[in-house]
A and B are shown apart, each in its own frame.
Chain A
Amino acid sequence: MNNVLTAIQNEARRILQEGIVDVVVGFEAGTLQLKAQPFFMHKADDVDKLVWNGFCQNNLATYLTRLDKQQRIGIICRGCDSRAVRTLVMEHQYDREKLYLIGVPCTGIVDWRAVQRQTGEDILSAEEIGDEIVIATPQKKWKFSRAEMLHDSCKRCAHPNPVGVDITIGELLPEGDPQQAFTRTREFELKSAEDRYAYFQVEAERCIRCYACREACPMCYCSECFVDYTTPRWAESMITPSGTQAWHIIRAFHQAGRCVSCGACERACPMDIKMTYLTDKLNRDMLDLYGFDVGENDDKQPPFAAFSLDDRDRFVK
């Protein structure tokens, strides 16, 4: 990791010093254990604070739709981040010419909640050492297998390698079969409709409509989200099953063929709500019905963003 970090820093410094970009988006150390913060480097000196590790839990592509479109931006991308960038570029949200992507193959993001569930709250230090995560709490020292403590989405991830980047730093990792990302979806599908709905109800019940999931997601960038409409009223803003379930379902549909399964939504949620099971199902349908794997190349448009005359139309009788 250290060599990779140094190489990333060198590249980030280079593109700033040579004026290739105005800002580089990466991470710096967090103020809490097991966390890192998104970090914006405007000068070469800022790069000294750059970190790169398993605690970098945000999808940085989400900042692309928030920054001045005239700026030239460098972003450090993993597999999912780079696919999100690619999809955003395809949706004309940013000019690819103005981006410099530093790709880094990804060994997964550590789920801080999974760690805390084992150790309790008071974590004094957390380190990634080889395949392990070493934690110290006031009472004892803990060692966990890193692989077991990864976020769910990372455990299923088939695409750790960055795509469409300007430079790749670090060893490429074996790509998985896209279908493997949907193993959990298949298990879920086998349940009865009642069981599936019951699960959905329990998850959605905790929702406080803070929209952290929406803001953390790179693909949610509508200047007016459907939940803010009063005419027509798509979903009530009250905390009710009706309003909250509508929110989750409609957002999932808006992600079909666009979501990169990064799991940033679940990591952002303050109420630990599971949501990727919804978007994974829609993405699996995209794969099965349209042979579409999100972000696989620069040309293939997401199925719901484009049409061709020979599209399947079995729903038209």
Chain B
Amino acid sequence: METRLLKKSQLLSFIAGLMEQQAVFAPVKNGDFTQFQQINQADELDLESTHNTRYPPKALFQPQSEPLFEFRDGKFVSLLGEIQPRIIFGIRPCDVHALQLLDTVFNAEGAQDPYWLAKREKTTIITLGCEQPCSTCFCTSVGGSPFDRRGSDLLLTNMGDYFAFEVVTERGNALVQSMPVAADGQANDVKDMQTKAEASFPKAFDPTGIRDKLYQLFSSNYWKKMQESCLGCGVCTYLCPTCFCFDIVDEKQRNQRVRNWDTCMFRVYSQEASGHNPRPTKLERTRQRIMHKYAYWLDNINEIGCTGCGRCVRYCPVNLDIRWMIQTAQNWVEA
């Protein structure tokens, strides 16, 4: 499919045009923060931030708290309402690919999560590629890239005084018909920019064979070392765009059965009524998180369950760096 061009000066009116058709969600700056929010004016959009939002955009599909049912007259009434079509603008390739990974969980054959599916079907994704990495990015180490097209409807490249809109799907195509098509030369410039950018992304580790290595290390001292400084909070899992674990709880005071994000890092996550806990200490829980992302995901769909967005690296209160953990695993020799 083609590449179309938009002068930077015309971006806001393009966004305003989109807003007339559908709700637009984009990164919005609020103090120190950038967060995906519905914008009411085109100029609320913030694409200046050189790094990703803290809170992951997966929340737009799996809200942190989502009432599933209301309990009315002794019956469970679904609260899945009509989802209005919407556009997410300015999401990064790492977060978009994460949504595809989550699709394999929520949109599995024979077991489709209606709440997830309804939102996915009504959402158009306009992705902004990354021309430079920030200190915590490592998408290229986990099979991704800063201009990864997978899962996008349109992929934007910032070319300085204009944006290149690469059309990936028909849905994306429909939005850019009024833009001029890029000439061959221009399309090549875009390609060059992307190649250069990708090359500038540092390799944090070599993931080859990580699944086997982690299984080998299952009972080794490697985990004793890895879990030492972990506090067992939920920062890494809640900011992670590929984490999907949830809890279902009845909130009687609201008459609702609600789904909330949950985390394998908390002790009560796997605590059984009998008192038995298959993951009784931090060691088992740290091991579960890392093995899930870098071994079990590979077992199930042959892809690493981490897209290198770097949020866990940046916001871990004790700077427990997953890149260091994987590198250490690859090099670990049991004493």
A39, B238: Cα distance in complex, Å: 24
Chain A interface size range: 35 or more
A32/B314 in contact, CB under 8 A: yes
Known contacts A32-B136, A33-B135, A121-B50, A239 near B282 by CB under 8 Å:
no
B238/A238 in contact, CB under 8 A: no
A238/B65 in contact, CB under 8 A: yes
Please tell me if B319 contacts chain A, counting CB pairs below 8 Å. yes
B235/A228 in contact, CB under 8 A: no
Shortest Cβ gap from B97 to chain A (Å): 22
Please tell me if B134 contacts chain A, counting CB pairs below 8 Å. yes
Shortest Cβ gap from A235 to chain B (Å): 11
A240, B256: Cα distance in complex, Å: 13
B260/A117 in contact, CB under 8 A: no
- Which chain B residues lie closer than 8 Å to A122 at the CB level? 50, 134-135
Per the 8 Å Cβ criterion, residues 181-214 of A in contact with B are 206, 208-212, 214
- Which chain B residues lie closer than 8 Å to A216 at the CB level? 231, 233, 317
Shortest Cβ gap from B235 to chain A (Å): 5
A32/B228 in contact, CB under 8 A: no
Please tell me if A36 contacts chain B, counting CB pairs below 8 Å. yes
Please tell me if A134 contacts chain B, counting CB pairs below 8 Å. no
B233/A214 in contact, CB under 8 A: yes
Please tell me if B43 contacts chain A, counting CB pairs below 8 Å. no
Please tell me if A308 contacts chain B, counting CB pairs below 8 Å. no
A208, B50: Cα distance in complex, Å: 23
One of A78-86, A264-272, A309-317 contacting the partner: A264-272
B231/A32 in contact, CB under 8 A: no
- Which chain A residues lie closer than 8 Å to B314 at the CB level? 32
- Which chain A residues lie closer than 8 Å to B51 at the CB level? 121
A31/B319 in contact, CB under 8 A: yes
A37/B229 in contact, CB under 8 A: yes
- Which chain A residues lie closer than 8 Å to B268 at the CB level? 224, 228
Shortest Cβ gap from B188 to chain A (Å): 27
A314, B258: Cα distance in complex, Å: 43
Give A63-75 as 1s and 0s: 1 = Cβ < 8 Å from B's Cβ atoms.
Answer: 0001000000000
B55/A215 in contact, CB under 8 A: no
Please tell me if A30 contacts chain B, counting CB pairs below 8 Å. yes
A236, B320: Cα distance in complex, Å: 30
A36, B282: Cα distance in complex, Å: 21
One of B107-115, B207-215, B247-255 contacting the partner: B247-255
B54/A267 in contact, CB under 8 A: no
Known contacts A39-B229, A122-B50, A270 near B324 by CB under 8 Å:
no
Please tell me if B120 contacts chain A, counting CB pairs below 8 Å. no
Query: Residues of B within 8 Å of A, CB-based: how many?
Result: 43
B321/A31 in contact, CB under 8 A: yes
Please tell me if A255 contacts chain B, counting CB pairs below 8 Å. no
Please tell me if A168 contacts chain B, counting CB pairs below 8 Å. no
- Which chain A residues lie closer than 8 Å to B231 at the CB level? 62, 212, 215-216, 268
Contact of A239 among B235, B260, B320, B323 (CB under 8 A): B260
Please tell me if B315 contacts chain A, counting CB pairs below 8 Å. yes
B320/A268 in contact, CB under 8 A: no
Contact of A238 among B251, B267, B319 (CB under 8 A): B251
- Which chain A residues lie closer than 8 Å to B33 at the CB level? 206, 271-272
Please tell me if B313 contacts chain A, counting CB pairs below 8 Å. yes
- Which chain A residues lie closer than 8 Å to B323 at the CB level? 31
Please tell me if B234 contacts chain A, counting CB pairs below 8 Å. yes
Closest to B312 in A: A270
A286, B51: Cα distance in complex, Å: 43
Please tell me if B232 contacts chain A, counting CB pairs below 8 Å. yes
Please tell me if A96 contacts chain B, counting CB pairs below 8 Å. no
Contact of B247 among A120, A211, A214, A237 (CB under 8 A): A237
- Which chain B residues lie closer than 8 Å to A123 at the CB level? 135
- Which chain A residues lie closer than 8 Å to B73 at the CB level? none
- Which chain A residues lie closer than 8 Å to B249 at the CB level? 230, 237
Give B305-322 as 1s and 0s: 1 = Cβ < 8 Å from A's Cβ atoms.
Answer: 000000001110111110
- Which chain B residues lie closer than 8 Å to A37 at the CB level? 229, 318-321
B55/A268 in contact, CB under 8 A: no
Closest to A270 in B: B315
Please tell me if B158 contacts chain A, counting CB pairs below 8 Å. no
- Which chain B residues lie closer than 8 Å to A36 at the CB level? 319
Please tell me if A113 contacts chain B, counting CB pairs below 8 Å. yes
Closest to B225 in A: A40
Please tell me if B121 contacts chain A, counting CB pairs below 8 Å. no
Give A268-282 as 1s and 0s: 1 = Cβ < 8 Å from B's Cβ atoms.
Answer: 101110000000000
- Which chain A residues lie closer than 8 Å to B251 at the CB level? 233, 236, 238
Per the 8 Å Cβ criterion, residues 220-278 of A in contact with B are 223-224, 228, 230, 233, 236-240, 264, 267-268, 270-272
- Which chain A residues lie closer than 8 Å to B50 at the CB level? 120-122
- Which chain B residues lie closer than 8 Å to A208 at the CB level? 55, 64, 238
Please tell me if A283 contacts chain B, counting CB pairs below 8 Å. no
Shortest Cβ gap from B73 to chain A (Å): 23
Closest to B317 in A: A268
Using a CB–CB distance below 8 Å, which chain A residues touch chain B? 30-33, 35-40, 58, 62, 66, 113, 117, 120-123, 206, 208-212, 214-216, 223-224, 228, 230, 233, 236-240, 264, 267-268, 270-272
Give 28 pairs: A residue, B residue, CB < 8 Å, sorted on A.
A31-B321, A31-B324, A32-B135, A36-B319, A39-B229, A66-B232, A120-B50, A121-B50, A121-B134, A121-B135, A122-B134, A208-B64, A211-B266, A212-B231, A214-B233, A215-B233, A216-B231, A230-B249, A233-B252, A233-B253, A237-B249, A237-B260, A239-B260, A264-B317, A268-B235, A268-B317, A270-B238, A271-B55
If A37-B229, A215-B232, A216-B233 are given as contacts, then 13 extra A-B residue pairs at C-beta distance below 8 Å, sorted by A number, are: A31-B313, A32-B314, A36-B319, A38-B228, A66-B282, A121-B134, A209-B234, A210-B235, A237-B247, A237-B249, A268-B231, A271-B33, A271-B54
* Ranked 6 nearest A-B pairs via Cβ: A268-B317, A215-B231, A215-B233, A270-B315, A212-B233, A210-B234
